[in-house]
Structure 1
């Protein structure tokens, strides 16, 4: 069986579903008076995530058998991702969208971590390449992701400062 294509196909399908959900939520929030902050850096995240999957696909032999321990960890991370999405509900997007007067999330994973979505996504970027033995992809894309996430968190924290009161 071609594990590489099965796993990457499922990850890509999940990401596409998330983009559709995020787009729907974004449109609804903007219709309610929300505003987008820091839109200029958003395409960099799309490029990062697309090139991450493409990089794994290009350099990994299609006959590669996945490391089951890393694969199980990646699957477990999906529960964290779903926890974040379900906690935020209609407020979950892939962009920085803020609705003035809306309460900030303080339940679910937000009780423990200020930016749980970035934690989960960062771990995914590290772990998935390791499923297929691609250590250099795990490291290179993790560094690029860390730089982008650091930039994004600064923008997001400034945007949410007004709502923190």
Structure 2
């Protein structure tokens, strides 16, 4: 069942990329400007490695499903998916995996953006440790968390500068 969960998350990621590509075409056609593309391939690689390593670690190292850990981590992983799609729905055409800023467009202050500048990254952080720990893939959870922290440090700097946050 865990492998099916990872497959479902992979399919969900492909759906996200389809939405992001459609939104990027729209944004560029309407004067959007991209910022900080250099970190993007690294970010994509880390996210792909998360899914691959979830499967590989569980399979090669025979990681068990421990209900006391697995069920709460599954709940957190599902909640993070819900938060991510709430962000996507709130931003609409402005949501993207790239940092594209639309000129003369005010920041979104509704949905989860009422409380946080970057709620999508909260979803990424939570999912990044919860998804592997559903099946005790703790090496993957630690590895992704550290790699993601390094990428998010760059990403947040780029995004905050592009959006004019202080």
Question: TM-score, with normalisation over the residues of structure 1?
Answer: 0.92
Measured in 1, the distance between the counterparts of 2:36 and 2:114 equals 25
Match of 1:86 among 86, 89, 97: 89
Structure 1: give runs of 5+ residues left out of the alignment: none
Quote the offset at 1:68 in angstroms. Answer: 1.8
Quote the offset at 1:70 in angstroms. Answer: 1.1
Match of 2:71 among 68, 80, 91: 68
Measured in 2, the distance between the counterparts of 1:74 and 1:4 equals 12
Give 1:1-165 correspondences, 5 Å limit: 3-61=1-59, 64-65=64-65, 67-161=70-164
Answer yes or no: is the 8 Å Cα contact 1:126–1:139 preserved in 2: yes
CA distances 1:63-96 after superposition (whole Å, capped 9, x unpaired): 9547222112211221111111111011000000
Count of aligned residue pairs for this structure pair:
160
Answer yes or no: is the 8 Å Cα contact 2:63–2:136 preserved in 1: no
Measured in 1, the distance between the counterparts of 2:50 and 2:65 equals 19
SS in 1 for 2:106: coil
CA distances 1:30-51 after superposition (whole Å, capped 9, x unpaired): 0001111111110011100011
Change (3 A) 1:141 1:105: same
Answer yes or no: is the 8 Å Cα contact 1:42–1:95 preserved in 2: yes
Superposed structure 1 runs of 4+ greater than 3 Å apart: 62-66
Measured in 1, the distance between the counterparts of 2:153 and 2:117 equals 13
